[in-house]
Amino acid sequence: MVFGTSGSGKTTMARRLAAALSLPMVELDRINWQPGWRGLNTDDPAEFARRVAAATAGDAWVCDGNYSGVRTYLWTRGTHLVWLDYPRRVIMFRVIRRSVVRAFDRRELWPGTGNRENWRHWFRASHPIHYAWSTWARRRSEAEARLADPRYANLTVLRLRHPRQATGLVEQLQLPPQLDGPHYSDAARS
């Protein structure tokens, strides 16, 4: 699982990890967002959970996202949680840059949905820029509390506090295994 606040780079990191590990990548936003910005997680939570369960039915996968309705299911099945716990300035730079690029290129965010970035939505409290700013501190403390829950004792948590650590982790995974080499979790501490 790749976890982090809006704009932290969860999808990018999950794609890189999936490629390095030769595993399928499950993007929760792609499952959630339907045409017209209809979110299954709110409009039909049972269907959202069913689709997530189907997408992660295999023994190994990489998944990104923060959806509370499927968190327990995914976290209790997972082996590792990569937490992108970056400083607010890093998050805000990333989410603003991403929003600007998306607004200019007007590409469809999830194929078949017709959903695109719209400048007018920037003034909504639900827009990722506002959401990332207003929830950064709360999300961080909530994550720490959640990870202390014994239900998630199965997870090896890799708390990355800087993008360099994410790059190091992916590079470490791409190296051929060594008998006496460092464990993958060590890359998160560099």
Is residue 35 within 8 Å of residue 113, measured between CB atoms?
A: yes
Cα distances (angstroms) measured from residue 26 to each of 32, 52, 78: 11, 8, 13
Q: What are phi and psi of 38, to 5 degrees?
A: -80, 125
Interval 144-153: pLDDT, tens = 999 999 999 9
Q: So where are the chain's domains?
A: 2-189
Is 2-189 CATH 3.30.160? no
Q: Which two tokens stand for residue 127?
A: 């827009």
Interval 108-125: pLDDT, tens = 988 899 888 887 777 777
The better pLDDT of the pair 182, 73 is held by 73
Q: What is the pTM of this model?
A: 0.85
Q: Euclidean distance between the first and final Cα of the chain, in Å?
A: 20
**CA pair distance 69, 102, nearest whole angstrom:** 27
**CA pair distance 127, 125, nearest whole angstrom:** 6
Is residue 11 within 8 Å of residue 27, measured between CB atoms?
A: yes
pLDDT-derived band of residue 176, with 50, 70 and 90 as boundaries? low
